[in-house]
Amino acid sequence: MYQYDTIDKAMLADRSAEFRGQVARRLAGELTEDQFKPLRLMNGLYLQLHAYMLRVAIPYGSLNPTQLRKLAWIGRTYDKGYGHFTTRTNLQFHWIKLADTPDILDHLASVDMHAIQTSGNCIRNTTTDPYAGATAEEVDDPRVWAEAIRQWSTFHPEFSFLPRKFKIAITAAPKDRTAARVHDIGLVLKRARDGALGFEVIVGGGMGRTPYVGPTIREFLPVNRLLSYLEAILRVYNRHGRRDNIYKARIKILVAALGKDEFARQVEAEWAKIGEGADLPDTELARIRGAFAQTNFETLPAQSEAFEAAKAAKPAFARFVRNNVKPHKRPGYGIVEISLKGIGDTPGDATSEQMEVVADLAEQYGLGDIRVTHEQNLVLPHVKLDDVPAVWAALAEAGIATPNINLVSDIIACPGLDYCALANARAIPIAQHIAEKFRDQDRAEKIGELKIKISGCINACGHHHVGHIGILGVDKKGEEFYQLTLGGSGAEDASVGSMLGPALPYDKVADAVDTLVDVYLRERHDGERFLDTFRRTGVTPFKEAVYADAH
């Protein structure tokens, strides 16, 4: 993993000192809340319904055990003993006191962490494949480029006051676990026939009020030209993105208005003027690449007797393996996903005790490596198959061995009206109702991959547009209603879901999902996921079933 050097550490120390001064001015009354707002927002500090929320950056979703223990400690010391992992692979604390924030930032900085650019109209945390460095599917390690972008985008002097926030995702595997095509910029690392590495560059995807699957503006960008090309895209956007209407300010609106060809032409023209002088020198790329080279794998047989014996002896372990353990590029290793979607729990929440268990397991069994997924789960990317039974037992003890990765109860939900000042409706209890409905694990496995995503308002933090089943909270005369969409996907087969029909009241949503699943089980052909069946049949059978009662 990348280690911060004295320069990286000095950046965080300077930032922390600056914010301490700003908070002191606010607490002394030298700054009004209006004047303070832009300053706190540059440090990931939001004022929500009940308290301040601090969003801590987890660059490309990568943590070491010391960092995760510190997050657990902060949760216990300054919050209510838990934290919430987000779809940007960050961690939010929802019950923070303003006066504590300078100390919290110092504690974060002591483990090379911060809240830089977790809010504001700047380049946000770059996300990548949580299986990076572990999956055999990838052509190269995408974290190298995520780290290069982290440094380039941190306190960027030209691009810190963009028309709107800006999110970049990088994947290096054909199976996209980053939702690259619904990002402001999605980068797909590929290898050309001659072996050269390059990026497919996708610009102008997004969710919110106007969802788009982003178009590809360049099929193959040589990897070492990445930063100059990003500079060209950001410059065109900074100059020409709309600033008159917050809802039309994302780059997707500019790309759609110009058309992808004209947008690409402007980027290429700007890129030609910028030239290679804006790219990272090969020496720096080599330095970063070296930091991600994993050298301490053991040479193991592909089969593990202990692992196979545990599967045979314990059906619950076998179920966990079927759903939560994924193939590793090295023989004898596995990728272990830790679901933060326990039945009846808040999606993405982890208690301080659970974080400490995961940190300990990563240290003891996982080469000290922990990842956060955009689907709000955790990953131990490098676990010996021999050790998976012990990891599973410890997770079960901590209540985080739910065997439901990619299944119906592995739901993305935003904090919704329980926390958020923007929300129209609650999202968390809807997720809980649905999870309860599919508590039967045999049935959940029979249903197979089904991605449900819930947003409490049209800002779409819960990614409802790209849910196989999407659920959007709306306000109808002061009551919570929910609009269902079907057929969305954030993966390599990205699409925006289409509307099922009239919005449903709060207490009918889980039943409607149950009905949709019944229709799928009735209609599906062999091997089809819910999404495939929907794409084949269209909306009609689903719509008829859900609204049958209404007639």
**Interaction site with another protein (CB under 8 A):** 5, 7-8, 10-11, 14-15, 17-18, 38-39, 42, 121, 151-152, 154-162, 235, 238-239, 243, 273, 277-278, 280-281, 283-284, 287
On whether the CB atoms of residues 68 and 359 are closer than 8 A, the answer is yes
Residue placing its CB nearer to another protein in the complex, 156 or 314: 156
Concatenating the DSSP letter of every residue in 304-355 gives -HHHHHHHHH-HHHHHHHHHHEEE-SSTTEEEEEE-S--TTSPTTEEEHHHH
Interstrand relation of 349-351 and 82-85 (parallel, antiparallel or unpaired): antiparallel
Q: How far apart are CA 501 and CA 516, in angstroms?
A: 13
CB of 14 to another protein, least distance (A): 5
Instruction: Give how far Cα 104 sits from Cα of 4, 96, 114, 537, Å.
Output: 19, 10, 9, 52
Longest pairwise C-alpha distance within the chain:
69
CB of 4 to another protein, least distance (A): 11
CB of 26 to another protein, least distance (A): 13
Torsion of CA 513, 516, 517, 523, to 10 degrees: 180
Q: How far apart are CA 58 and CA 71, in angstroms?
A: 11
What's the burial of 442, exposed, middle or buried (CB within 10 Å: 0-12/13-18/19+)?
Answer: exposed
CB of 150 to another protein, least distance (A): 9
Q: How far apart are CA 405 and CA 393, in angstroms?
A: 17
Residue placing its CB nearer to another protein in the complex, 267 or 357: 267
CB of 500 to another protein, least distance (A): 38
Residue placing its CB nearer to another protein in the complex, 111 or 234: 234
Concatenating the DSSP letter of every residue in 493-504 gives T-B--EE-SS-E
CB of 290 to another protein, least distance (A): 12
Counting Cα atoms < 13 Å in the Cβ hemisphere of 30 gives 6
Residue placing its CB nearer to another protein in the complex, 274 or 474: 274
CB of 34 to another protein, least distance (A): 12
Residue placing its CB nearer to another protein in the complex, 263 or 320: 263
On whether the CB atoms of residues 289 and 145 are closer than 8 A, the answer is no
CB of 111 to another protein, least distance (A): 19
CB of 278 to another protein, least distance (A): 7
Residue placing its CB nearer to another protein in the complex, 273 or 477: 273
CB of 238 to another protein, least distance (A): 5
How wide is the angle at C-alpha 241 spanned by C-alphas 38 and 87, nearest 5°?
60
**Cβ neighbour number for residue 451 with a 10 Å cutoff:** 24
Start-to-end C-alpha separation, the chain: 59
Torsion of CA 430, 436, 442, 445, to 10 degrees: 20
Instruction: At 480, give phi and psi (nearest 5°).
Output: -80, 120
On whether the CB atoms of residues 174 and 194 are closer than 8 A, the answer is no
Q: How far apart are CA 298 and CA 383, in angstroms?
A: 11
Q: State which H helix or E strand residue 62 sits in.
A: strand 62-63
CB of 267 to another protein, least distance (A): 14
Buried b or exposed e, range 491-520, using 16+ CB within 10 angstroms: beebbbbeebeebbebeebbebbebbbebb
Residue placing its CB nearer to another protein in the complex, 195 or 281: 281
Residue placing its CB nearer to another protein in the complex, 285 or 491: 285
What's the burial of 536, exposed, middle or buried (CB within 10 Å: 0-12/13-18/19+)?
Answer: exposed
Beta bridge partners of 222: 198
Residue placing its CB nearer to another protein in the complex, 166 or 365: 166
Residue placing its CB nearer to another protein in the complex, 19 or 212: 19
Interstrand relation of 412-413 and 452-455 (parallel, antiparallel or unpaired): parallel
CB of 161 to another protein, least distance (A): 3
CB of 240 to another protein, least distance (A): 9
Residue placing its CB nearer to another protein in the complex, 123 or 134: 123
Q: State which H helix or E strand residue 135 sits in.
A: none
Residue placing its CB nearer to another protein in the complex, 34 or 507: 34
